[in-house]
Structure 1
Amino acid sequence: MIVGQKEKGIFINGEWRDSYSGTVRAIINPATLEKLTEISYGGKEEALEAVEEAKAAFPSWSKKTARERSTFLYKAYEKMLENKEQLAQILTSEQGKPLTEARTEIESAASYLLWYAEEANRVYGEIIPSSKVNRRSLVIPQAIGVIAAITPWNFPASMVTRKLGPSLAAGCTVVLKPASQTPLTAMAIVKIFEEVGLPKGVLNLVSGDAKGVGEALTQSPDVRLITFTGSTEVGRELMKNSAQHIKKLSLELGGHAPILVMDDANLENAVDLTLASKFRNCGQTCICANRVYVHREIADSFVEKLAVKVKSMKIGNGIDEATVIGPMIDRNAVEKAAEHVEDAVHQGATIITGGKEWQGNLGGHFYEPTILVDVNDQMKVMNEETFGPVLPIETFDSIEEVIEKANQLPYGLAAYIMTESTNRVFQLSEALEYGIIGVNDVFPATAEAPFGGIKESGFGKEGGKEGIMEFVEMKYVSIGMTN
């Protein structure tokens, strides 16, 4: 892929093509607002054709042995790492995150292909001891069929492979719909699978209109599962639109992650981890800290130490190796961050640092990393997912109080605990209503462990042995025997 040339953004049955309508979309660098390239931009017609080709490819792909399927994943894993620098450059150019983060994301994305290349061979059925002497009971795992994978813009590599790895390993065929803002990374990954010889029709990609493509994927009876990462609002629409055919869904939706900093926490470590969680990818992370609850006895010291480090963070173009805070994805994201800060200040919050757009010389979508104190539970920033570099800090006095505050929202994706007490680890982990708990750890996502939320943060798991089971149906076979 040569950024700057017009790209064919549709890949169906092993062929890169333009859209039938001739529509193109410009891909913009959010740091500089320069046009990187134009891609062909499809819709419902292309999506339905992709489903048909995936359906046609399913019988032969699903009948391959797990070892045969895993070979393609191993090769794609190796080629991703070989091309890590090129992929990272593409990712940073279209998404904005610093190159150091982009390289880490490519490594993480590749790790899901490796894990599921291995896990493909461990999808076991079972023989059930029968209650009757003349019956044998078997459970057989089988690939669910054609799946639609809809991925977000904030992690345009790892969110793709977290879906492709287990689905292809299980024997499913795929129609991939990447985010409109960041299709180039997904296209580059698909080209890697093309290079390693993945059979035609097994993996298809449609860059295009979210509404048109989404309608096609939800309304087609041939799509048996939709795996989606994105907002809770879109997740609700997918559930509603998928009801006609009773599709299976795997949804990783919005979050509002709290960090609980207990009075016995290692203060320096808690500051560093909070900084890393909140400001990674400019706060545009589904599991990043959205609110911090700090015990009153250590709150002043915590805020002081955090503010010093936040003020030293370099803002700029992600291509610059020294950049720590890159751009936000678009103008709407900047305006939402500004709205949340303005609302908080209007209701009595105090800005410790940041609190405004960054007026650099790049012309892109930047907002300063911001710390707010004197916040309360009525503010937007404490209730809505900001998805930006804004960190509100509230104090607490008792463990019962902080548990209640942490659980008061309808989201349940990730929560974090900073403590040196084993008792508190278990007490808080069991009490917090979240699918993922990080204890002195703010980077819990890993290929070998299940990732997913509860409540309005969705259902289904990505990663671990659980991740591949989302794409498998367990068929029960009862065999009667004659004497």
Structure 2
Amino acid sequence: MYESYGICVGGKWRAAEGGATAAVLSPVTGRPLGACATASAADTRDAINAAEAGLMAMRALSGFARADALHRIADEMARRALEAARMNTAETGKPIAQAEREWVLSVDQFRWYAEEARRIYGRIIESRVPRGRFEVTREPVGIVAAFTAWNFPASLPARKLAPALAAGCSVILRPSSQTPGVAMVMVDCIRAGGLPDGAINLVTGSTAETYTPIMADPRVRKVSLTGSTRVGQQMLRDAAATVKKVSMELGGNAPLIIYDDADLDQALDLSVATKFANAGQVCVTADRFFVHESLHDRFVDGFVKRAQAIRLGDGADPATGMGPLINKGRLAEVDAIVADAVAAGAKIETGGKRAAGFNEGNFYEPTVLTGVTDDMQVFAEENFGPIAAITRFATEDEVLARANKGEMGLSAYAFTRSPDRARRTVAGLKAGMVGINSFALAAAEAPFGGTRFSGLGREGGSEGIEDYLDTKLTQLVF
């Protein structure tokens, strides 16, 4: 499955040092999908050296040339869409329709940043010095290292690679070792775009052999991470030694508020579909469901019926509505979170156990809990699984105060028919992104990211290219 790839150094595929490989396991069966190359520290240094040469060539390209290349990359990605979606489903277990949609959104990133590459503007400022003027220009920050998680193995790399290349940087991508194949397909598409050798590089392997050399090398000037808050905190400490520029999208624990004037059917249809997409392994999904006391029982009843109708199975089957969790460790953690909630007094309305009828793989039932309190682990921390934890609230002030508890601030949601209440809610929620009667936050044209312990910087939109650019001031006197 991975034999035609390997690691990518200087825009070329090759085997890792000594032919080292590691198995990639199917979350559906638990059996190996294939053997993926694992880079050594020497391989990683080779990638950095190649990226250094690639950066010089990238800086020589105009924004128009980079834009044309990104459009060619998007064309190649569109051509290979089915291949990429099948790889995504094989590695993550997510339903094929979700995998196809993810690749489409990834192509959008390259299309969007192809156009942004043409619009990296400077400005002129009048100087106080006679016959002088200031010029403000934007330059690529340098070599970029992109570290991505397994839950969205297409869209997460695309959000980093597209703006970095548009800005004129060279990139070293280090995808999750659990889902390397999708990133390999994307990098292969980038190779077809005609960018200079060294513009794109890819290494997979252990932290010691990949992450550590990258973070220690002062030539790498920018790192971008999608991962856990714990990993992000460590990256900030490691980046300080060489003063690297850092952006990161970390964990979430999103509140969803269902006000008493909400369209109940709309709220149910959208929230159930979103909660159980990718088996709940989504940083921006709603974890904490605050439902007005007047709608609570009807909401729970409707949520349970819809959850019970979801068909579990292999994502390659078009009839599958929810696939497995990524690995056995995630399965055990979700099981433990539910057990802790029940021990603390929560009630299982449906689900709450490993799925029956699956003798292999990491399947867990769509789960709905009620009677939860704010201090339970399932509410206080991101559960990153197919668990909807539902509680009641009485007043707007109360629910906003409860929704803002904790350290995370990635996304938040509310359903209401009142524009005034919507505006008050948006103003009152401490989150980088807020959806009102909608969960559709991820789009190439919109800035994606959080506040507080949920991250730094933004991906997407005009803002997404900013972290890959340095500002230079020049004083000219003639």
TM interval, shorter chain, is: over 0.9
- Report the Cα offset of residue 131 of structure 1: 3.9
Correspondent of 2:195 among 192, 195, 198? 198
> Alpha-carbon deviations, 1:102-140, whole Å to 9, x = none?
000000010000000011001111112334443201100
Between stretches 250-259 and 194-203, larger displacement belongs to 194-203
Q: Secondary structure at the match of 2:320?
A: coil
1:188 aligns with 2:153: no
Correspondent of 2:338 among 338, 341, 351? 341
Q: Which residue of 1 aligns with 2:421?
A: 424
Q: Work out the CA distance in 2 between the residues paired with 1:360 and 1:122.
A: 55
**Equivalent position amino acid for 2:148 in 1:** T
- Report the Cα offset of residue 383 of structure 1: 1.4
Q: Work out the CA distance in 2 between the residues paired with 1:126 and 1:88.
A: 43
**Equivalent position amino acid for 1:302 in 2:** F
Correspondent of 1:249 among 246, 249, 257? 246
Q: Secondary structure at the match of 2:276?
A: helix
1:287 aligns with 2:284: yes
Q: Work out the CA distance in 1 between the residues paired with 2:282 and 2:428.
A: 24
Correspondent of 2:348 among 347, 351, 360? 351
1:165 aligns with 2:195: no
**Equivalent position amino acid for 1:143 in 2:** P
- Report the Cα offset of residue 362 of structure 1: 5.4
1:360 aligns with 2:349: no
Correspondent of 2:452 among 451, 455, 462? 455
Q: Secondary structure at the match of 1:286?
A: coil
1:57 aligns with 2:54: yes
From the superposition, tell whether residues 163 and 40 of structure 1 become closer, same or farther in structure 2 (CA, over 3 Å). same
Between stretches 184-193 and 209-218, larger displacement belongs to 209-218
Aligned length: 478
1:179 aligns with 2:172: no
**Equivalent position amino acid for 1:24 in 2:** T
Between stretches 254-263 and 20-29, larger displacement belongs to 20-29
> Alpha-carbon deviations, 1:268-314, whole Å to 9, x = none?
00111211221110000010111110011111111111111100100
**Equivalent position amino acid for 1:306 in 2:** F
- Report the Cα offset of residue 173 of structure 1: 0.1
**Equivalent position amino acid for 1:297 in 2:** S
1:467 aligns with 2:467: no
Between stretches 105-114 and 269-278, larger displacement belongs to 269-278
- Report the Cα offset of residue 397 of structure 1: 0.5
Correspondent of 1:37 among 34, 37, 48? 34
- Report the Cα offset of residue 53 of structure 1: 0.8
Does the 8 Å CA contact 1:21/1:42 hold for their aligned counterparts?
A: no
Q: Which residue of 2 aligns with 1:331?
A: 328
Q: Which residue of 1 aligns with 2:313?
A: 316
Q: Work out the CA distance in 2 between the residues paired with 1:395 and 1:7.
A: 53
- Report the Cα offset of residue 57 of structure 1: 1.4
Q: Which residue of 2 aligns with 1:126?
A: 123
1:376 aligns with 2:382: no
Correspondent of 1:260 among 257, 269, 279? 257
Q: Secondary structure at the match of 2:16?
A: coil
**Equivalent position amino acid for 2:213 in 1:** A
Q: Secondary structure at the match of 1:115?
A: helix
Between stretches 313-322 and 5-14, larger displacement belongs to 5-14
Q: Secondary structure at the match of 1:226?
A: strand
Q: Work out the CA distance in 2 between the residues paired with 1:359 and 1:133.
A: 80
- Report the Cα offset of residue 359 of structure 1: 2.5
Over the residues paired in the alignment, what is the CA RMSD in angstroms? 1.1
- Report the Cα offset of residue 95 of structure 1: 1.0
**Equivalent position amino acid for 1:325 in 2:** M
- Report the Cα offset of residue 178 of structure 1: 0.4
Please list every run of 5 or more consecutive structure 1 residues that lacks an aligned counterpart in the other structure.
Answer: none
Q: Work out the CA distance in 2 between the residues paired with 1:204 and 1:188.
A: 13
Q: Work out the CA distance in 1 between the residues paired with 2:74 and 2:100.
A: 14
Q: Secondary structure at the match of 1:155?
A: coil
- Report the Cα offset of residue 228 of structure 1: 0.5
- Report the Cα offset of residue 72 of structure 1: 1.4
**Equivalent position amino acid for 1:307 in 2:** V
TM-score normalised by length of structure 1: 0.97
- Report the Cα offset of residue 63 of structure 1: 1.7
- Report the Cα offset of residue 39 of structure 1: 1.4
Q: Secondary structure at the match of 1:475?
A: strand
Q: Work out the CA distance in 2 between the residues paired with 1:331 and 1:443.
A: 30
Between stretches 98-107 and 210-219, larger displacement belongs to 210-219
Structure 1 residues 197-216: aligned runs within 5 Å: 197-216=194-213
Q: Which segments of structure 1 move beyond 4 Å, counting only runs of 4 or more?
A: none
| Percent identity (aligned) | 39
Does the 8 Å CA contact 2:72/2:192 hold for their aligned counterparts?
A: no
Please list every run of 5 or more consecutive structure 2 residues that lacks an aligned counterpart in the other structure.
Answer: none
Q: Work out the CA distance in 2 between the residues paired with 1:414 and 1:350.
A: 26
- Report the Cα offset of residue 167 of structure 1: 0.3
Q: Secondary structure at the match of 1:113?
A: helix
- Report the Cα offset of residue 7 of structure 1: 4.7
Does the 8 Å CA contact 1:314/1:324 hold for their aligned counterparts?
A: yes
